[in-house]
Amino acid sequence: MAGGLIAKACALIGAAQMHSPEVGKVDPQAAPIEQPAGDQAIDRQRPGITGPQLEGRVDQDNPGGVRPPPPQAFAEEHLPIPDRWRLASNLGIRDNPLDPYNQNRLKGDRPIKGTEDCFIALTGISDTVVEPRSFPIPVAQQGTTRPGSNDVFGRSNSLVFSQTFIAGGSLIKGLTAFKPPEIELRALLAYNVNYVTVPETRVLSVQPTRGSTRLDHFLALQEIFLDYHLRNVSDKYDFDSLRVGIQPFSTDFRGFLFQDNQLGIRLFGNRDNNRIQYNLAAFFRIEKDTNSGLNDVISGVRDDQIFVANVYRQDLPFPGLTSQLTVVYNRNREKGQIFIDSNGFPQRPALQGNLRARDYDIVYLGYNADGRFGRVNLTASGYVALGEDRNNVLTNKPAYVQAFFGAAEASYDIDWVRVRLSGLYASGDGNPRDNTEEGFDAIFENPLFAGADTSYWIRQTIPFAGGGRAISLNGRNGILNSLRSSKEQGQSNFLNPGTVLLGIGADFDVLPELRVSLNVNHLWVAETAVLKAFRMQDSINNDIGGDYSVAAIWRPKFTQNIVIRASFAAFDPGRGFGQLFVAKGRDDVYYSGLLNLTVNY
């Protein structure tokens, strides 16, 4: 086939030359054909190398030479190749199911046998995490692992081991090399085994007799959706598509507001040669497993819905920057429900204040930007939260919600070094007993910001002992001081102290496959009034403390198939943290280690 195509192309060129008025004529204005400039140009040899002398210059006379054919002599349309997969086989490219790097039918590189436009793409991931850590751990009221201990806080060291196996696959119809697929059916399962050991009882389970270790496992359905291509709206393959099922989604570039795999219906597409993209979606939150954080479809769907409308525009307001406008409505109707997690701790309602469940309606208005300004890389997010909380847990009355959030991270590249500056402000409530709640809280945050999960404050959960049972000052893999039971199973809480962060960091591409990162962050609470009210403590400072981390990412194969991450973070408590969590001298500095091996197929 390849030979036939080449022959056709040659015939077209030959025909164009025969019909060209230039054939057989010499243009007097044409530049003469240049000849080599003397024998010396031909007889050049590598320095220090001797050998036989070259033959003399060959003179070539070409009195009938013509200029090359003009562009219009060539075919303007591309020659179609009806079966490009067979062409690859004729070139000697063979399938290897065990090789994820080269042509592989199981990775969607070739169609299913017997078809021309149906593909299967399989995914296999092993994710291993070893995490030593320390944080303030309260001593259980019923008893302690150390007889005679009567401190409020016990020993702080703990260890987590987590192994997750992920298997998934997509069945795709359509020529996906240059246009969206016509239909895609995808499913993904995750199986997690986790082991945790802590120094105190009643941390891992509400029952003190369960001890201070836990081994748990869980199988979850993380994705299952049908993606249907509705139509193309231009010859550039701008399109509209509909996706129904459990699917990944993020409301912004860095995961500040909502980033999760949830059951939803999503209409999405693009316009203007992909310069404009849009999403219209509705999500219905699935319950989460307590210890793995994975979807628990057996427990059903919460009475908590999320409605999203957003639009992206590239090169706005200037080339290189993508702007996004978004509106998110969170409707929660879980007032009459009581939910207790698998460890026996109440999650809804949160055990603080009047211990009453709540309904709320919150609208988030946001602007997000991502791109570059000259040589400066920039990411920025801003949200305003407006709505009503049906029950203020301190006043037993409805309250208006008026809160805001802003974050930005700028970076500058100097050869193989990228320097980063980070800043974040989430408003806090300065008067928790009025009819307005001003603490900003997200729906389900997973921030990729200020060091992400290598940061101590983002990685670890700090229990708010004395201010409520099973309540945390912040959440795991979250940056906000939201005072909620958990981001997986709890409700958003707008009666919180807020968050302030300033940070500096740098990424060093030491080798093409090795990156080392350094991050230094300092954190404060925006307002201390809520902390004082819940803890019934008059003197609390805003200063949370300093967060220092170093991390390394090694990709030995220069790809994402094998990724090894290692990090260590230290947290130096500030004055306010010390007033909340009085600890022994040996716990003046807390730590968080992370060793993560990810293998992808």
Q: Does residue 466 register a pLDDT over 80?
A: no
Tens digit of pLDDT for each residue in 407-454? 999 999 999 999 999 999 999 999 999 999 999 999 999 999 999 999
Q: Does residue 343 register a pLDDT over 50?
A: yes
- The pLDDT of residue 284 is 98
- The pLDDT of residue 155 is 79
- The pLDDT of residue 207 is 83
- The pLDDT of residue 145 is 57
Domain hosting residue 98, numbered range: 1-7+82-110
CA angle (533, 435, 357) in 5-degree steps: 70
Kindly state the tokens that stand for 343. Answer: 């460890």
Is 14 within the bounds of a domain? no
Lowest pLDDT segment from 249-253, 356-360, 591-595: 356-360
Rounded Cα distance, 33 and 39, in Å:
17
The per-residue pLDDT of the chain, averaged, comes to 86
What is the enclosing helix (H) or strand (E) of 86? helix 84-90
Is 168 within the bounds of a domain? yes
Is 276 within the bounds of a domain? yes
- Rg (C-alpha) for the chain, rounded Å, is 32
Is 347 within the bounds of a domain? yes
Distances (CA, A) of 309 to 96, 280, 282, 363: 43, 5, 9, 11
Average of per-residue pLDDT across 76-104: 70
Instruction: Give the ranges where 141-296 is alpha helix by DSSP (H).
Output: none
- Does 504 lie in the same domain as 562? yes
* DSSP code for 99: -
Amino acid at 464: F
- Does 152 lie in the same domain as 100? no
Tens digit of pLDDT for each residue in 161-186? 999 999 999 999 987 767 788 999 99
Rounded Cα distance, 428 and 500, in Å:
10
Q: In the block, which residue shows the tokens 């203007």?
A: 272
- The pLDDT of residue 425 is 98
- Does 275 lie in the same domain as 375? yes
Q: Does residue 548 register a pLDDT over 60?
A: yes
Residue 511 CB contacts under 8 Å (≥ 6 apart), including other chains:
none
Average of per-residue pLDDT across 508-537: 95
* Residues of the chain above pLDDT 70, percent: 82
The answer to whether residues 247 and 253 touch, using CB atoms and an 8 Å cutoff, is no
In 3D space, the residue among 531, 530, 566 whose CA is nearest the CA of residue 551 turns out to be 566
- The pLDDT of residue 587 is 57
- Does 543 lie in the same domain as 588? yes
- The pLDDT of residue 2 is 44
Measured distance between the N- and C-terminal CA atoms of the chain, rounded to whole angstroms? 33
- Does 196 lie in the same domain as 86? no
Rounded Cα distance, 479 and 484, in Å:
13
The answer to whether residues 13 and 6 touch, using CB atoms and an 8 Å cutoff, is no
In 3D space, the residue among 133, 158, 142, 160 whose CA is nearest the CA of residue 201 turns out to be 142
Q: 13 phi and psi, to 5 degrees?
A: -65, -40
Q: Does residue 159 register a pLDDT over 60?
A: yes
- Does 449 lie in the same domain as 539? yes
Tens digit of pLDDT for each residue in 15-27? 444 444 443 444 4
Rounded Cα distance, 143 and 211, in Å:
11
In 3D space, the residue among 449, 578, 574, 484 whose CA is nearest the CA of residue 523 turns out to be 574
Rounded Cα distance, 371 and 322, in Å:
6
Tens digit of pLDDT for each residue in 27-71? 444 444 444 444 444 445 555 555 566 677 767 677 777 777 787
- Does 246 lie in the same domain as 97? no
Rounded Cα distance, 375 and 320, in Å:
10
Domain count, the chain: 2
How much is the pTM? 0.84
- Does 182 lie in the same domain as 87? no
- The pLDDT of residue 98 is 77
Tens digit of pLDDT for each residue in 209-236? 888 899 999 999 999 999 999 999 998 8
- The pLDDT of residue 80 is 62
Instruction: Give residue 116's pLDDT band: very low, low, confident or very high (50, 70, 90).
Output: confident
- Does 406 lie in the same domain as 322? yes
Q: What is the dihedral of CA 178, 180, 186, 188, to 10 degrees?
A: 60
- The pLDDT of residue 493 is 96
Is 529 within the bounds of a domain? yes
- Does 138 lie in the same domain as 104? no
Tens digit of pLDDT for each residue in 367-399? 999 999 889 999 999 999 999 999 999 999 999
Q: Does residue 135 register a pLDDT over 70?
A: yes
Q: What is the CATH number of the domain that holds 451?
A: 2.40.160.100
- Does 489 lie in the same domain as 381? yes
486: helix, coil or strand?
A: coil
- Residue with the bigger pLDDT between 322 and 91: it is 322
Is 36 within the bounds of a domain? no
* Residues of the chain above pLDDT 90, percent: 65
Omega before 138 within 30 of 0, i.e. cis: no
Is 117 within the bounds of a domain? no
Is 40 within the bounds of a domain? no
- Does 143 lie in the same domain as 93? no
CA angle (338, 341, 347) in 5-degree steps: 50
- The pLDDT of residue 17 is 41
